[in-house]
Amino acid sequence: MKKTLLSLAFASAGLLAVPAAFAQSAPIHNDGWFVNGNVGRTSIDKGPYNGHDTGYAIGGGYRWAVAPQLALGVEAGYNDLGNIHVKNIFNSNDVIEQGRSQLHGWTAGVNGRFSLAPSWYVGAHTGLYSWKGHGLDNSVNPVRKGLDDTSWYAGAGVGYDFSNNVSVGLNYDYYDAKKKDVDLSTDMVSISAEYRF
């Protein structure tokens, strides 16, 4: 009788462990509303510019699950990519440095997220970039101009889901911004964080 009770106890414990095992291997929830932010190093190597600064982007949107591992969605956001020097917070120099490439704007586009494993993912996005900037043209005697236009952006990244709601990632983004012999197009390599509702 004791052996039967012991066998039933082990069998019950095994049955209770099965849902927990499946929960660990189930894909992370990647659909629904989300907000995210990026901070990273921007670079511009166009015309009179060749340098690096600190940039940031914030955004949000909604994704629909089209397969267990794949979600597609829409997004909108804002970024500043041009002239922020974080190291100057600790000295008397300007944090916002005038005379350098200055680029900021609004984004609206589409995005996708694919789960590689229960906790790892790859993502990509692209869309319209409505930007404003100040920069030098590419002439013999450069002239500083203030410009605005609508162009495009695109990027991709890889990341890790800490839970159903929180993830961090490493991303590369390109923002196209050219007009009237002024090219402020900028790359950004950044660390991102996302919260899903």
Question: How confident is the model over 150-168, as pLDDT tens digits?
Answer: 999 999 999 999 998 999 9
Residues near 36 by Cβ (< 8 Å), separated by ≥ 6? 58, 59, 60, 192, 193, 194, 195
Cβ proximity of 65 and 26 under 8 Å: no
The pTM (predicted TM-score) of the whole model is: 0.77
pLDDT of residue 135: 74
Q: How far apart are CA 63 and CA 84, in angstroms?
A: 31
- Across 165-181, average pLDDT: 93
Extended strands (E) in 99-165:
102-115, 120-136, 144-161
Q: What is the pLDDT of residue 44?
A: 83
**Residue 161: per-residue pLDDT:** 94
The structural domains of the chain, with segments of one domain joined by +, span 2-196
Asked if pLDDT for residue 34 goes beyond 90, the answer is yes
Q: Are strands 102-115 and 182-183 parallel, antiparallel or unpaired?
A: unpaired
Residue whose C-alpha is closest to residue 29's, from 157, 161, 125, 160: 161
**In Å, how far are 30, 35, 55 from 167, measured between CA atoms?**
10, 11, 20
Nearest of 82, 111, 71 to residue 192 by alpha carbon: 111
69-115 confidence digits (pLDDT tens): 999 999 999 999 876 555 555 666 555 555 556 889 999 999 999 99
Taking the C-alpha atoms of residue 92 and residue 155, their distance in angstroms, rounded to an integer, is 35
Strand partners, 132: 104, 148
Q: Which tokens is 115 given?
A: 């789960």
Q: Looking at residue 173, what is its pLDDT?
A: 97
Q: Beta 32-44 vs 144-161: how paired, if at all?
A: unpaired
* Structural tokens at position 190: 């950044």
Which CATH code of 1.20.5.510, 3.40.50.300, 3.40.50.150, 2.40.160.20 fits the domain covering 2-196?
A: 2.40.160.20
Using the predicted structure, report yes or no on whether residue 52 has a pLDDT greater than 80.
no
